[in-house]
Amino acid sequence: MTAAGRRVLVGRIVGLYGVQGWVKIESWTEPRTQIFRYQPWLLSTAPGEERGIAGVTGRPQGKGLIAHLPGVDDRDGAAALVGHDIYVAREQLPPPGKDEYYWVDLEGLEVVTTEGAALGRVSHLFATGANDVVVVRDGGRERLIPFVQGVYVRSVDLSGGRMVVDWDPEF
């Protein structure tokens, strides 16, 4: 699957701010205020349902961020949005730097060892304090491989749909 049509989780609405429809948000962009430059937002409203919202404004407030969404002008309307994830279309993000990848671009890649043994496909990734971890699934089997380039991850070929890892297939 190409990056076209994919969406990337960039934040979440986590609380209310004031009585005029403002919400507190958690941003996973770098810098965190960059979330306001990626629009429209796609809010997950229910499983399989999204609502596109353009024209969101916001700013830092204390240790967090606050945002105002067009058409949400009171506390009740804002309260209905708390807990919604904020996605943007993958195409809105800048190209990654050399040897950098958006996780969404790695999902679905075939994973093989340096010896050519098939391990499965990238299901998803998650962060740890030390490094990111690639979750590779093959049927009922799941492998957790540290995403450390040059050590465990030897190459990533997005156009070819393949990641080569230095990993024991029995582990």
Q: What is the share, in percent, of the chain residues with pLDDT greater than 90? A: 85
pLDDT at 23 over 60: yes
Topology of domain 103-165, CATH: SH3 type barrels. (2.30.30)
Report the distance separating Cα 64 and Cα 116, nearest Å. 46
Q: What is the pLDDT of residue 4?
A: 52
* pLDDT at residue 12 is higher than 70: yes
Report domain extents, the chain. Answer: 7-92, 103-165
Residue 1 has pLDDT above 50, yes or no: no
| Contact indicator for 58, 65 with CB cutoff of 8 Å | yes
Q: Dump pLDDT digits (tens) for 57-114.
A: 999 999 999 999 999 999 999 999 999 999 999 999 999 999 899 999 999 999 999 9
**In the numeric block, which tokens belong to residue 139?**
């049927």
- Considering the four listed CATH numbers 3.40.1380.10, 2.40.50.140, 2.60.200.30, 2.40.30.60, the one that applies to the domain covering 7-92 is 2.40.30.60
Structure-block tokens of residue 113: 């060892």
- The pTM score is 0.78
